[in-house]
Amino acid sequence: MHPIRHALVVTAGALLFTGSATGVAYAATAPPLAAAAGSLLLPPTTAEPAVPLRPAPSAYAADPAALDSLLAAAVRQYGAPGATAAILDRGRVLWQGASGLAVDPSAAPLKLGGASARDSAPQRLDTLQPIASLTKSYTAVVILRLAEQRRLRLDQTIDHWLPALPGARTVTVRQLLDHTAGYPDVEGDPAVERITSDRRAYDPNHRWTRARLIALASAPAFTPGSRWEYSNTNYLLLGEIAERAGRAPFQRLLQRFVTRPLGLRETTMVRGGLPLERFSHGYYGFGSTTFDTWSGARSLPADAFGPVWTDGGIAATALDAARFSDGLYRAGSLLRPASLRTMMRSQGPAAVRQFGLGTKRFDFGPPPADRWQGFSGAYGGYTSMAATNPRTGLTIAVLSNKLQIEPVDAPAIRIWLRLGQRLGAVAQDVRLG
């Protein structure tokens, strides 16, 4: 069993899982776009009936009952315990919904000998969920704000901040941001995998520290800047650099640069202080069996949430995730225009995958649905996706508490596309297997 902390890459006709998939055997045939190691292509299926693409934001009209029904049907179809979603039109809430369960007592305990949840709990609009690698966009904003304040430089080598790190003299902050640094993924290290992946040794209460994780980092596997390879290590390192450059804990920097400017009150990395009942449990699917990652946990599973994990440790509501995406990509409320252009620009080896700095461009068909900007994630039994079309002003965010490992599947992304297609905002040939 191997939990994945991925970016999930959607293309016309296919879904690619990009990242570390060590220890899980997949059978797939990938086109050139998916040629990088660790990628997986899911075959396409029949799309929803065609809906004409609408040319302007004012044309988007939500039928709340229809969207509620779509969300409920999609949760059932994709085998997720539940999901929450939010749609914004130029910052205005067009619709938000919740369906299914936040806690499913029918799931088996992930930890051998652990206990299943006793009672069920429904998904609610205010349910909090770890957003996995969607966190990387928030971390990138923190780094870019520090660069705006001249606390660091994107093309500065990271030995200034991490002098003892192998290869630090040859790796820049920018290369960490766009996954061209070459650092192998420490979350695939046996010392980490044993605690997060082996049902016999699974420990959701393990006391993780970023220093311990960084100590596992080995030298870059290739010349920095010469290749693109997704690695969570990059964003763990960026979290440490942010704290040293910003002279504050990361959660305080997140508050200063992201949550306070946007008024996000349902976005957090702080362990403790919030009732556990606010959070959904995470669920892994293996075949027809669903496992609860909270089994044996005294609080939230320690590898899925918290300030250690600047690669994937934020929790939020779907509405807050949507407001972050809208505030960043449409309203321009977080970064100066030049910084936002830098963040969104794909260049060098990252360009073939349309990755920028903690963000990705999604090409979803003919105008105006051609270019969305956002990110996605999958880890700890959770999947997420939030993206904005800057041209139309439409934002969609979906969070689901299910990650199917065998066969691999990501309900949040499937539901995201279904919502976009229902609104006529996403082309119909963007499909998932």
- pLDDT reported for residue 433: 44
Report how far apart, in Å, the C-alpha atoms of 245 and of each of 171, 269, 358 are.
17, 19, 18
- pLDDT reported for residue 368: 61
| pLDDT single digits (tens) 320-353 | 999 999 999 999 999 999 999 999 999 999 998 8
249 located within any domain: yes
Residue 19 has pLDDT above 90, yes or no: no
Residue 384 has pLDDT above 60, yes or no: yes
The two three-digit tokens of residue 416, written as one number: 């995201």
162 located within any domain: yes
56 located within any domain: yes
Report how far apart, in Å, the C-alpha atoms of 348 and of each of 6, 16, 245, 325 are.
21, 20, 26, 25
Q: Are 304 and 280 in contact (CB under 8 A)?
A: no
Flag the least confident range among 92-96, 127-131, 348-352. 348-352
H runs (alpha helix) in 278-427: 318-325, 337-344, 411-422
- pLDDT reported for residue 39: 28
Domain count, the chain: 1
Residues counted in the chain:
433
Does residue 274 sit in helix, strand or coil?
Answer: coil
- pLDDT reported for residue 130: 98
Instruction: Tell me the C-alpha distance between 416 and 7, whole Å.
Output: 15
2 located within any domain: no
- pLDDT reported for residue 274: 84
Query: Model confidence at 432, in pLDDT bands (50, 70, 90)?
Result: low
Report how far apart, in Å, the C-alpha atoms of 17 and of each of 34, 176, 232, 349 are.
9, 19, 14, 18
430 located within any domain: no
Query: Which residue carries 């029904």 as its tokens?
Result: 69
| pLDDT single digits (tens) 23-50 | 222 222 222 222 222 222 233 333 333 3
User: The CATH number of the domain where 184 resides is what?
Assistant: 3.40.710.10
The CA-based dihedral angle spanning residues 334, 336, 340, 343, taken in that order and rounded to the nearest 10 degrees? -90
| pLDDT single digits (tens) 243-256 | 999 999 999 999 99
Predicted TM-score of the model (pTM):
0.89
- pLDDT reported for residue 6: 53
Q: Residue 225: which domain range?
A: 7-422
Residue 12 has pLDDT above 60, yes or no: no
Flag the least confident range among 27-36, 229-238, 282-291, 304-313. 27-36
The secondary element (H helix, E strand) that includes residue 400 is strand 394-400
Q: Are 7 and 376 in contact (CB under 8 A)?
A: yes
164 located within any domain: yes
How do beta strands 403-406 and 283-286 pair? parallel
142 located within any domain: yes
| pLDDT single digits (tens) 153-206 | 999 999 999 999 999 999 999 999 999 999 999 999 999 999 998 999 999 999
- Give 285's DSSP letter: E
The two three-digit tokens of residue 240, written as one number: 């440490």
392 located within any domain: yes
- pLDDT reported for residue 272: 82
The two three-digit tokens of residue 159, written as one number: 């030995």
Query: Model confidence at 20, in pLDDT bands (50, 70, 90)?
Result: very low
